[in-house]
Amino acid sequence: MLLPIGIEKHKNLSTSFTRFDHLLQDLGDNRFSGYIKLNFWGYEGVLVLDTGRMVEAYSTEQGVELSGEEAVLRILRKAADPEGSIEVHELSNEVAISLGYAFQSRPYKKDDSTLASFSLGQVFEFLERQSLSGYLDLHFGAQKGNGTVYYLEGTPVEAVVMSSSGKVVCGEPVFSKFVEIGERVKPEVAIHRVIEPRPIMEDEAFLIPWQHQKYIQFWHALFQYVGRLMSEQLKKNKFYENVLKVCSEVSDHYPFLDPENGDVRISAGAFQVKRVLHHRSFRQGIAMLLHKVLQLAPPRRLRKLDLKQIIADVKKIADDLGINDKQIDSQTLIIQVFRGLT
């Protein structure tokens, strides 16, 4: 599969001098559609954005291929390493969507039997009738180059060709050239299709500091609330000292909580998130952190707490910040934090 070139916005940005999260924020603010390509020796990652939102990703390293959320997380980690390069290519909205679908697609199993006798023009007509979303790879033989045509619901939205010398060209003229060549040459074809595309739901999958400020404020307010609960129950409240202590203990499983090098900073005065985090891992880590902090309190004190009232209070914290409780799921969260303690 050849990547579309589009408009090259950045080329050979160094990971040693580029804050990847700042680049993401800028592209998000500008509702960018296209992709970011991350290159290291033996590594390639592609992050696809549609109107500023991450919708798909692909990562490959030493034969290990990842896609979806796992690929995003790998790209984010890798982008923090030095001596890599970053490219940014702007695409139209429909081509960006098609590229995202392409990374989810699988081989179309009827290539050999159904299409063996088809000319290239007939293959194009077949894919249109099938309303295919995915891509078609073309191999014109040794010294003749390769091509890729991206499809969105049966419509060819982009065509890419790479000559035997490595030159890459994209656009409508390329597709027309494929049609013309197909009348004289019968290339090898490989069709990949996606039946039920599942783009990444960015707001659900990731905690993004510059987009989710109110959500981060909720966690600050929650820690303040739990700290007050402990003050009411204990003569000597070392809540935030204990938070720091437990952060060190759980940082092997949740590196973002590492007091020295982690991306989350928790204190009485602030709750800071420095980089994009995987949302599910963040919630799991925070719930475990609070649970272990509460375990340091005398059990008889915790048994006096009213769990229903705590859940109601947490729901109100979210409501006061304008956050839907479906996003917080206060009941599940508090049960996780206080399990076996009240």
pLDDT of residue 180: 85
Q: What is the pLDDT of residues 160-175, one digit of tens each?
A: 999 888 889 999 889 9
* Cα 104 to Cα 106: distance, rounded to the nearest angstrom: 7
Q: What is the pLDDT of residues 233-291, one digit of tens each?
A: 776 778 999 999 999 999 999 999 999 999 999 999 999 999 999 999 999 999 999 99
Q: What is the pLDDT of residues 106-142, one digit of tens each?
A: 998 664 556 667 888 889 999 999 999 999 999 987 7
Q: For residue 80, what is the DSSP state?
A: T
What is the layout of strands, in order, in the sheet containing 155-162?
106-107, 188-193, 134-139, 146-152, 155-162, 168-170
Taking residues 225-237, report their average pLDDT: 82
Q: Which residue has the higher pLDDT, 68 or 113?
A: 68
Q: What is the pLDDT of residues 181-210, one digit of tens each?
A: 877 878 888 999 998 999 999 999 999 999
What is the layout of strands, in order, in the sheet containing 85-90?
7-14, 85-90, 34-40, 43-50, 53-61, 64-67
pLDDT at 231 over 90: no
pLDDT at 31 over 80: yes
Single pTM value for the model: 0.87
pLDDT at 177 over 90: no
Query: Residue 23: how many CA atoms within 13 Å on its side-chain side?
Result: 22
The residues near 110 (Cβ < 8 Å, ≥ 6 apart) are none
pLDDT at 39 over 90: yes
pLDDT of residue 88: 98
Taking residues 14-36, report their average pLDDT: 95
Whether 275 contacts 21, CB under 8 Å: yes
Contacts within 8 Å (CB) and 24+ apart, 302-307: 302/233, 302/338, 302/341, 302/342, 303/341, 303/342, 304/233, 305/229, 305/233, 305/338, 305/342, 307/334, 307/335, 307/338, 307/342
pLDDT of residue 112: 53
Label residues 120-129 b or e (16+ Cβ within 10 Å = b): beebbebbee
